[in-house]
Structure 1
Amino acid sequence: MTLQFSSENAFPSAVVMNNFKRRDLSNNSLNGEIPDFLSQLQHLKILNLEKNNLSGLIPSALHRDSLTLSVDQNPYLCEPDQCNKKKNKKNNSIVTPLVASVGGVLILLVAVAAIFWTAKRRKVKALTVEKDQSEKSPQYTDQDDSSLQSQKQIYAYSDIVKITNNFNTVVGKGGFGTVYLGYIEDTPVAVKMLSPSSVRGYQQFQTEVKLLMRVHHKNLTSLVGYCNEGTNKGFIYEYMANGNLQEHLSGKRSKRNFFSWEKRLRIAVDAASGLEYLQNGCKPPIFHRDIKSTNILLNENLQAKLSDFGLSKIILTDGETHVSTVIAGTPGYLDPEYYLTNRLTEKSDVYSFGVVLLEIITSQPVMAKNQEKTHISEWVRSLIAKGDIDAVVDSRLEGDFDSNSVWKTVEIATACVSPNPNRRPIISVVVTDLKESLTMELARTEDRSTNTSYSVKQVIRNLNTESLPQAR
């Protein structure tokens, strides 16, 4: 499509163009003089005209403090005191045709007008697509793959088709894609393929690839590899045979086989340890931003691992206690302070974990399915005020737990979900307290049976001497 302009309306008015703040017209083969109308754009902050073939005098109005002007590598462009020297030198060479000069101006006008039209379209599109301007990561391309990790972790789409047996078995579905069961040399893996229509999903794909390439912990799901081939993008994770925590607490996976109090505490310790690693073991620290029971996966030994790092935020600001960012997370698990102020802190993930801990204790949904839609934290607080601990704990446990262990765990959970972030414990304290609760429960079961497979002393030694691997 060819754009044509008359001499009177060759460009939108200065009022319209005042919306421009930054324009990059470098390396566009532009020639001719710089049009004076650019000096009317009072809101223009950055103008890059480098590496073109512009000529003549630079308008003096463009030399203002509020504008950063770049005109390098334009051999026939000059300042007022330089033009006479260049003119004499230029007269000894071939004179540039007037047609080329006029054509250059038109090309410049067409290029800037096209940018204006494109920017306007993008602005309209931005109204329907949520974008977090504060956390844009560098553009991720196929060429970046080799710098992230060795080539053996990059899979072609044809490999993914073979691994999943042509996407034969679906094991889960999320907001941004479908998870399939696959096999690599007889080892089961989970393959999550991104939906091509998911814009936010692609942004999260970039974030998760970069994060999982640099972190490793026994309580974080391991990345086996990934595919980044055109619109075919996906992850290959270790397979977590026992699904997610929410399925078990709700009874969806097996109504007859529910978790004992000891198993629940072990899962809580695992999940909290993974979160502690992200905040304290990674340099710079990482905030997950989507801690919830469906993002806590269980392997064949019921070891819990955090998953889904697409919303995670790497905190690069040194010495700061928070970062301002667009709100992201899941309703019910979202820190109310973060929701109101956009201030993301380490206590935001602590709040979300506190909600998960209440789910582990009660097996109740985060939001009650009634007209009031009571939050689980409000429901638990009302029962605690009455001293009714039996009503708080999952009735299916039938009292088979150490009361002190339960009370301590409830206290930890309610502290984590305090509306005041300053009253919430740091995650390392949460881990320590949960280990103490587990020790109490193990002491009870050991007293009941000396043949138990777990020794209290052994558990304490294991819990206190676990190494904390560092981010790679």
Structure 2
Amino acid sequence: MVISYLLLFLAFNIVDVGEGQNVCANESRCGGHGPAIRFPFQLNTQPNDSGYPGFTLSCIDRKHTVLELPISVKLFVKHIDYKSQVIQLYDPDNCFPSQLRWLNLSSSPFRFKVEDPHNYGQQDPDYGLYEYALFNCSSRSKDMDYQYDLISCLSDHTYQVYPATDITASLVSCTKMYNLVSIPDGIILHHDKYVQFEWFTPDYRYCEMIKGKRCVRSNSNGSETPQCISISTHTHGTLSKSAIVGVILGSFLLPCVFGLYCFYSYDKVEKEHQAKVEKFLEDYINLRPTRYSYADIKRITNQFNEKLGEGAYGTVFKGKLSNEIYVAVKILNSSMGNGEEFINEVGTMGTIHHVNVVRLVGFCADGFRRALVCEFLPNDSLEKFISSTVTKNRILNWDKLQDIAIGVAKGIEYLHQGCNQRILHFDIKPGNVLLDQDFNPKISDFGLAKLCSKDQSAVSMTTARGTIGYIAPEVFSRNFGNVSSKADVYSFGMLLLEIVGGRKNVDVTVENTSKVYFPEWIYNLLEQKEDIRIYVEDDGDSKIAKKLAIVGIWCIQWHPVDRPCMKNVVQMLEGEEDKLTMPPNPFASAGSIKTNANIPTKRLNLELEVIPELE
């Protein structure tokens, strides 16, 4: 009985609100908070004919009013001045340079409002707007602070971001991030908390200036022309009709609504999974990556037209946010897990801002449909360029391979030490290192990641996670030590040895009964002081290959305590090869045998006894 009255009440109110939307004089607010919303604006929950095209607003947490500008730029609404036709917006993270990177007002009714002291009416649409280039600088100097204004919201203790007024400028020792085109200088130079937009079409300021009158969209006689009407008379008539229609339709729709509710109700387990994801997204809302609907995802990917790859947890498609902005959209398998991988990826990638980590643009959590929208990197993964099928004609020279190794190491170091919480990736491998147009590396795929506090030396795990061939021994068996950030160090060491050899550490072309363990062969070459004679062209190449091999062997020591931390790994890679010491033999205690260095050895006693973990 209680449910029946509740559904009847909902039906009454739904119809009542819908009928009233034809009247612009009827105001609404998000949960009773925020600015008044009336014509030409409308909420996305209202009928399409209640507002003007391009003026749709939405509500978040029933108290924040949001305006979405092209392309997927979402700003909170502070105030709407209907008389002057100006809307005041703000970024909850107070970081306009990050939000406005994707802004494109060419198809929007809104334009930046800038002060016009001469009252020329802003005939020039670009009046008062400027162009900036943002640069990522690894070091900070007083001279640079004197010439450029630090953008603190994009910076941290590991790097600083500075703007240059010339988008073609080039700051020494800095990396150009992206351009900001046609924006007010107050956003960059004065760190304005609010930005104002104005609209010229539709223009109904004359109606707002008449006391007791407001604009209304009239549907009578097929006319769509807004008119000025009296607020009190028209509003009262509409609400009366709404009440009558609401009661009639509410009683009629009650059985239908109840039947649909029963038919489409989810089972208990699936509801818990969805609730878990939604609860996470509510807590995560302040991080502000864009949330897309599944319809948005289909539009961005052109109905999933171009597939980039497929893995155990989902399929990746190429998408486009605009004519110049491409993205990679990962559609997660709905049958895999309980939403943990989705939470891991969004929760970690959304908090990371580093040149060597893939940027999360947005996500989709539309019922059981979940997707991640990330920046698109045109050169695929590192695995493509170091696999045995292409290394004989490799297009990456050894200097570039060394730069890639250093970039990946810096990305992992940032995950371990640069964030508020330590992030353990647990799936470092060439396939998860993507390359941009300049072959700069970016770490991706955080589905197996685990977060812990920085003062936590070991993490708790109930099952092994990662990819066979890259998983550290302690992840399988606690006989080797506790699981910690050193597990990522081990995986990175295997990645380095693949770069050196141009092949996987377990040769998949060899029969399972005779697996060739490649890292041990590399160690034997180093121990017998023989050259790493694998696809090198000169002595310089040989020195780089040897350095990568030595660092790789240091990283794959069987016991975690014997491996260096990622900070030391970066220092070793950036140093000279002749200053590195030969690492201990990590294979001596695992049953390996001494063989001729020219012949790859077979791995003996590779399997470890799995020891159950005590929580």
Which of 507, 524, 527 is equivalent to 1:382?
Answer: 524
- Which residue is 1:210 aligned to? 347
The equivalent of 1:153 in structure 2 is 290
> 2:543 aligned with 1:423, yes or no?
no
* Structure 1 stretch displaced more, 143-152 or 358-367: 143-152
**The residue matched to 1:214 in structure 2 has which SS?**
coil
Q: Which whole-Å CA distance do the structure 2 matches of 1:374 and 1:148 have between them?
A: 49
Identity of aligned residues (%): 33
- The within-5 A match list for 1:439-454 is none
Match of 2:332 among 191, 194, 200: 194
Map of 2:44 onto structure 1: none
- Note if contact 2:350-2:359 (Cα within 8 Å) is conserved in structure 1: no
Structure 2 counterpart of 1:379, one-letter code: W
**1:413 and 2:552 matched:** yes
Counterparts in 2 of 1:233 and 1:290: CA distance versus 1, 3 Å: same
CA distance in 1, matches of 2:391, 2:349: 31
The answer to whether the 8 Å contact 2:399/2:544 transfers is no
How far the C-alpha of 1:254 sits from its partner, in A, is 8.3
Matched, 1:282 2:416: no
Once residues 288 and 455 of structure 2 are traced to their aligned partners in structure 1, the CA distance between those partners, rounded to angstroms, is 36
Asked if 1 retains the 8 angstrom alpha-carbon contact of 2:291 and 2:364, the reply is: yes
How many residues are paired up?
302
| Shift of residue 404, structure 1, vs aligned partner | 3.7
**Matching residue of 1:303:** 440
- Alignment of 1:321 with 2:460, yes or no, is no
* Native 8 Å contact 2:532 2:542 kept in 1: no
Select the residue among 223, 238, 245 that pairs with 2:375.
Answer: 238
The 5-angstrom pairing of residues 99-138 of structure 1 reads none
1:373 aligned residue: 515
**Residues 83-98 of structure 1 aligned to structure 2 (within 5 Å):** none
Structure 1 residues 148 and 285: CA distance shift in structure 2, 3 A: same
CA gap 1:437/1:266 in 2 versus in 1, 3 angstroms: farther
**SS in structure 1 opposite 2:412?**
helix
* Counterpart contact for 2:284–2:347, Cα < 8 Å: no
Kindly indicate whether the alpha-carbon contact (under 8 Å) linking 2:464 and 2:476 is maintained by their aligned counterparts in 1.
yes
Q: Is the 8 A contact 2:352 2:359 kept in 1?
A: no
For the 8 Å contact 2:421–2:451, the answer to whether it is kept is yes
Matched, 1:335 2:472: yes
* Structure 2 unmatched runs, 5+: 1-267, 580-615
For residues 270 and 428 of structure 1, the distance between their equivalents in structure 2, rounded to whole angstroms, comes to: 12
- CA–CA separation in structure 2 for the residues paired with 1:300 and 1:310: 25
Match of 2:475, as an amino acid? Y
**Equivalents in 1 of 2:559, 2:578: separation in Å?**
29
- 8 A contact 2:289–2:350 mirrored in 1: no
- For 1:203 and 1:221, the matched residues in 2 are separated by 19
Deviation at 1:257, TM superposition (A): 4.0
- 1:145 offset after TM fit, Å? 4.5
* Distance (Å, rounded) in 1 between the aligned partners of 2:374 and 2:389: 23
1:151–1:282 distance in 2 versus 1, CA, 3 Å: closer
Q: In the alignment, does 2:307 pair up with 1:170?
A: yes
Is 2:293–2:364's contact at 8 Å kept on the other side of the alignment?
A: yes
Moved more, 232-241 or 280-289: 280-289
Letter in 2 for 1:188: Y
Q: Which amino acid in the other structure matches residue 419 of structure 1?
A: W
Deviations 1:6-38 (A, max 9, x none): xxxxxxxxxxxxxxxxxxxxxxxxxxxxxxxxx
Using a 3 Å threshold, how does the CA distance of structure 1 residues 152 and 365 change in structure 2: closer, same or farther?
closer
Contact 2:379 2:434 in 1 (8 A): yes
Alignment CA distance shift 1:153-1:253 (3 Å): farther
**Deviation, structure 1 residue 253:** 6.8
1:327 Cα deviation (Å)?
Answer: 1.4
Gaps of 5+ in 1: 1-120, 123-135, 441-472
TM-score w.r.t. the length of structure 1 is: 0.60
Note the C-alpha offset of 1:163: 0.5
How far the C-alpha of 1:194 sits from its partner, in A, is 0.8
Q: What is residue 503 of structure 2 aligned with on the other side?
A: 364
Q: Higher strand share goes to which structure?
A: 2
Tell me how far 1:337 sits from its aligned partner. 2.2
Q: In structure 1, what is the Cα distance between the partners aligned to 2:485 and 2:391?
A: 35
Displacement of 1:256: 3.2
Deviation at 1:374, TM superposition (A): 2.7
TM, length-normalised to structure 2? 0.46
Higher helix share: 1
Structure 1 residue 379 displacement after superposition: 2.1
Highest RCO, 1 vs 2 (Cα 8 Å, sep ≥ 6): 1
Distance 1:251 1:405, change over 3 A: closer
Question: Quick one: structure 1 residues 142 and 233, their matched pair in 2 at CA, closer, same or farther if it must change by over 3 Å?
Answer: farther
Stretch moving more, 430-439 or 340-349: 430-439
Q: Which residue of 2 aligns with 1:225?
A: 362
